Amino acid sequence: MHVILLGTAAGGGFPQWNCWCPTCRVARENPQLARPRSQSSIAFSADGVRWFLGNASPDVREQLAQLPQQPVQGVRHVPVEGIVLTDAELDHTLGVALLREGRLLQLIATPAVLRTIAEDSRVLAVTQAFATVQTVEVALGEQLSLDYRDGSPSGLTIEMRAVRGDAPRFARKEEVGHTVAAFVSDSASGKSFAFVPGCGGLGPKFLARLNEVDLLLFDGTFWAEDELIRLDITDRPASSMGHVPVSGPEGSLAVLSQLSCRQKVYTHINNTNPMLVEQSPERAVVDAKGMIVGMDGMRFEI
């Protein structure tokens, strides 16, 4: 199974267009020390030819250029077989509308996410004005086979589990399953990975499930619980925004570094997070714990 990190920044990208925090300043003044990143998304494939997306960011057009080039017959070619959505946030779903020229799109998500993009953000309704959109509902805890757009099986299965987090601001009601972890398995190899770009808590049952995967792509949004408070950006701590911070005795670094899965990678990293600076003390701590700070274009084969 092949996995590509198409984008590794949180909403707004890195550096964020209107941000002059210390980390964004480094990215602008010395980008080789804090390399730019687009907004969080992945691509995954059983055969390295036909690809599914994990979320569709506003940067999707540029991100699709990272997929391996394949021979194209005819005038139109759609390199995306389906889009798995882990929530309904704009930075994870606006790319769906930008793919409207695809004529036939497949969206795989929980009922809560599909309802939110249909009725609240109306991303689904807008896209449906231009393309046929097939929606595939995934019940929480259900293991579902992923099919290609032509209906043939990919050999991959997906399971979604609800994680702690905030529903989108524009959602008119909060429903179970508005934020999930996606577990993708390859039936041929038995290998699996988890894609968790947003997560506000790490309970024992969830950690046990994460420990079963071969590759973990996890929420690296904030370094500290009070990161945005100290920068005078907001008065909300990280956990109240649906993100467990990286640092601290109960932070994701201390907890996840104990898991036995072979590769553990941070993605969805906010522009304020100091571990984005490659020679920073924070990056050194992450490296010492054996975890990886994700970078756009990173590729994994499991």
User: Where does the pLDDT of residue 77 fall: very low under 50, low under 70, confident under 90, or very high at 90 and above?
Assistant: confident
For the chain, the 3-state helix, strand and coil shares in percent, each to the nearest 5, are: 25, 25, 50
Strands 51-54 and 2-7: unpaired
Determine how many CB atoms are found less than 10 A away from the CB of residue 31. Answer: 11
Q: In the prediction, which pLDDT does 76 show?
A: 82
Residue 54: closest CA among 194, 264, 207: 194
Order of strands across the sheet that contains 192-196:
143-147, 153-162, 180-186, 192-196, 215-219, 263-267, 292-293
User: Where does the pLDDT of residue 70 fall: very low under 50, low under 70, confident under 90, or very high at 90 and above?
Assistant: confident
pLDDT averaged over every residue in the chain: 96
Residue 146: closest CA among 276, 50, 48: 50
Residue 156: closest CA among 190, 198, 122: 190
Contact partners, residue 179, CB within 8 Å, separation at least 6: 86, 87, 162, 163, 164, 165, 166, 167, 198, 199, 242
Tell me the per-residue pLDDT of 162-197, one tens digit each, with 9 for 90 and over: 999 989 999 999 899 999 999 999 999 999 999 999
Tell me the per-residue pLDDT of 239-281, one tens digit each, with 9 for 90 and over: 999 999 999 999 999 999 999 999 999 999 999 999 999 999 9
Residue 275: closest CA among 197, 238, 220: 220
Residue 116: closest CA among 145, 150, 85: 85
Helices (H), the chain: 22-29, 60-63, 90-98, 111-119, 123-128, 204-210, 227-230, 252-256, 281-288
- Residue % of the chain over a pLDDT of 70: 100
Say if pTM beats, i.e. exceeds, 0.95.
Answer: yes
One CATH from 1.10.357.10, 3.60.15.10, 1.10.8.60, 2.40.160.10 for 2-13+21-68+77-301: 3.60.15.10
In the block, tokens 């970078």 appear at 295
Q: Give the H/E segment covering residue 301.
A: strand 299-301
Structure tokens at 283: 């990056």
Q: In the prediction, which pLDDT does 7 show?
A: 98
The four Cα atoms 189, 191, 197, 199 give a dihedral, to 10 degrees, of 140
Torsion sign (Cα): 103, 137, 45, 64:
positive
